[in-house]
Amino acid sequence: MGEIIKGKPVADKIAEELAVEIEVLKGKGISPKLAIVRVGARPDDLAYEKGALTRCKKVGVEAEVHEFSQEITQAEFIAGVKKLNEDKNVHGILVFRPLPSHLDEKELKHVIAAEKDIDCLSPVNEGKLMEGDKTGLAPCTPTAVMEILKHYNVELQGKNVTVIGASMVVGKPAAILLLNENATVTICHIFTKDTAAMACQADVVVVGCGVPRLVKESWIAEGAVVVDVGINVDADGNMCGDVDFDKVVDKVAMITPVPGGVGAVTTSILAKNVVKACKLQNNL
Instruction: By CB under 8 A, name the one of 192, 196, 210, 217 that touches its own copies.
Output: 192
**Residue closer to its own copies (CB basis): 33 or 128:** 128
Cβ(207)–Cβ(166) below 8 Å: no
Q: For residues 161 and 181, what is the distance between their CA atoms, to the nearest angstrom?
A: 11
Count of positions on this chain that bind its own copies (CB under 8 A):
34
**Contacts with 67 (C-beta within 8 Å, 6 or more apart), sequence order:** 38, 39, 41
φ/ψ of residue 219, rounded to 5: -85, -15
187 near its own copies, rule: CB under 8 A? yes
Give how far the C-alpha of residue 23 lies from the chain's centroid of Cα atoms, to the nearest Å.
Answer: 25
Q: Which of 113, 154, 185, 226 binds its own copies (CB under 8 A)?
A: 185
- Dihedral of the alpha carbons of 116, 118, 119, 122, in degrees to the nearest 10: 30
Candidates 22-30, 55-63, 164-172, 259-267; binding stretch for its own copies (CB under 8 A): 164-172
126 binds its own copies, rule: CB under 8 A: yes
Find the binder of its own copies among 53, 179, 200, 253 (CB under 8 A): 179
Cβ at position 15, least distance to its own copies in Å = 30
Candidate list 118, 129, 258, 265; residue touching its own copies; CB under 8 A: 129
- E-state strands within 133-284: 160-164, 184-188, 204-207, 225-228, 232-233, 239-240, 254-255
Instruction: Give, as one character, the DSSP assignment of residue 69.
Output: P
Report whether 223 belongs to an annotated binding site. Answer: no
Q: Please state the closest distance from residue 197 (CB atom) to its own copies, in A.
A: 8
Quick check: 124 binds its own copies (CB under 8 A)? yes
**Dihedral pair phi/psi, residue 202, rounded to 5°:** -95, 145
Parallel, antiparallel or unpaired: strands 204-207 and 92-95: unpaired
Cβ 274 to its own copies shortest distance, Å: 21
Annotation: binding site for NADP(+)? 165-167, 190, 231
* Binding footprint of its own copies on the chain (CB under 8 A): 106, 122-131, 133, 136, 157-160, 166, 168, 172, 176, 179, 182-189, 191-193, 198
